[in-house]
Amino acid sequence: MINRFYIQFLAIIFAGLGIYYILSSGLYPIAIVNRHWISARAFRQDHAIAQAYYGTVVKAKNADELLKEIKRATLDKVIENELVYQELQKRLGTQLSAAVEKVVSDGTKDKPQLATAVQKIYGIGFDQFKDLVLVPEARIELLESRLSDSQETLAGWLIEKRKDASIILLTTEFGWDGMEIVLK
């Protein structure tokens, strides 16, 4: 009887620690885009970069409103990046990683001061900047070139994909109006 009590007690403790770890690490979804999760961690990382970039502006009078708008725009951009990634996965498949790496390396070669500038402006290392900023932009550039081959524009494609996408937000702070993230 006492052993059973200790086992149940330990199970509750470990379950609580597991939930704490998941929540504190941001391993839970904040949005679901066409059945693919966007983790809170990924959103926080992108938001931190945006906030670092706009940090001097945030000291203005309406800082709270501006911070909310930065969060809204960041989540909207993360969803857009996910839609682009999903489309390129369909079009390029296993060749996607190599194509993205080529675009990134072509854009960063002959720029020796880039890593130093990234550290000064954003306060992060170049590898993290590459993953959070350069890779998504390279994907957009790749998709844009593929779309131009078929006489489409990225803006038109994004409008159609945003209309057709299944977006589920798991936050009470924002909503989805069928085209973009809106503040509630």
**Domain extents in the chain:** 2-183
Q: How far apart are CA 113 and CA 173, in angstroms?
A: 38
- How would residue 139 be classed by pLDDT, with cut points 50, 70 and 90? very high
Over residues 104-110, mean pLDDT: 86
142 exposed, middle or buried (CB, 10 Å; 0-12, 13-18, 19+)?
buried
71-86: b (≥16 Cβ within 10 Å) or e: bbebbbbbbbbbbbbb
Q: What is the pLDDT of residues 9-42, one digit of tens each?
A: 889 999 899 888 888 888 889 999 999 999 999 9
Percentage, residues of the chain above pLDDT 70: 95
Q: What is the DSSP letter of 152?
A: -
Give the domain 2-183 fold: Triger factor/SurA peptide-binding fold (1.10.4030)
Name the pTM for this structure. Answer: 0.84
Q: What pLDDT digit, counting tens, does each position of 45-91 carry?
A: 999 888 887 775 666 666 778 888 889 999 999 999 999 999 999 99
